[in-house]
Amino acid sequence: MRRLTRNAAVAAAAAVAALGLTVTQASATSLDTWTVTPGGSFTATATNPTLTVPAATLECASSSASGTLATGSGNAGAGIGTITTLSFTDCSVIGIDFDVTTAGSMPLNVSGVSSVANAVDGSISNIDAHVEGTACSADFTGQVTGYYKNDTKQLVIDDGNLTASNADCLGVINDDDPALYEAVYAVSGGHTISLD
C-alpha cells in the first residue's frame, strides 16, 4: 500500500524487512530479546507494489520508506523499529490515477526465524492509509506481514489483515473489503539482528 497476537509476531518480517535486519539464531519466542547492530536509520524502496481488493488492484510505480531501528542488546521484538515515512508514486487503478497517503508512524516487529531460507518473519503494524482518485476514496488500516531475506537484503510483504473503511468508490472498494498489499523492498543499512 501508498505498512500481542501471533499476527503481530509474524508481522515482524515487514518490520525487519523495512530495516534490513539479519536474524542469526534459529528460534525465537515472544519473551526473547534481540541485539541490533548497528541500528539507527534505514531506507527502503520497492518497485511496482500492489494493493488488491476483491474488485480491483491498485498499482504503483514505486514506494519508499524510512525510519529508525533500535540498537544494542535487550530489545523486544515488538516495536524493535519504527517506519516514520511511507510514500507511493504514480499509482492507478485500471488507468485512473490515485493518490496514496499514510498517517502516523508504524512499528516494526520481529517475531523469529522464517521457514524461508535465510529469512526472518515480521510485521509492520498500525498502518493507516488513504487512497483517492476520481469518484473514489477509501481508507485502509491494519498490519502487513512477511519476511526479510538476509542474503538479498529484501523485505518481502505478502500477507496481513488490511481492511477498507470509509469507502466511497462506486462499489469498486467497499467497507470491510480485505486488502492484500504485496511488495518487495530493497533495504539499505546492512543492519543485523540476533537473539541475545
Give domain status of residue 31, yes or no: yes
More confident residue, 20 or 85: 85
Residue with cell 519473551: 31
Q: Phi and psi (nearest 5°) for 16? A: -60, -45
More confident residue, 67 or 195: 67
pLDDT band at 112 (very low <50, low <70, confident <90, very high): confident
Q: Locate 24 and state its grid cell.
A: 542469526
Q: Which residues on adjacent β-strands are paired with residue 185? A: 46, 155
CATH number for position 61: 2.40.160
Give domain status of residue 62, yes or no: yes
pLDDT tens-digit map of 168-190: 999 999 999 999 999 999 989 88
Closest Cα partner for 85 from 61, 106, 65, 63?
65
Q: How many domains is the chain built from?
A: 1
Contact by Cβ (8 Å): 64, 42: no
**Residue 167 is part of which domain span?**
6-195
Give domain status of residue 1, yes or no: no
**Hey, what amino acid is at 52?**
T
pTM (global) more than 0.95 = no
Tally the residues of the chain.
196
* pLDDT score of 28 more than 70: no
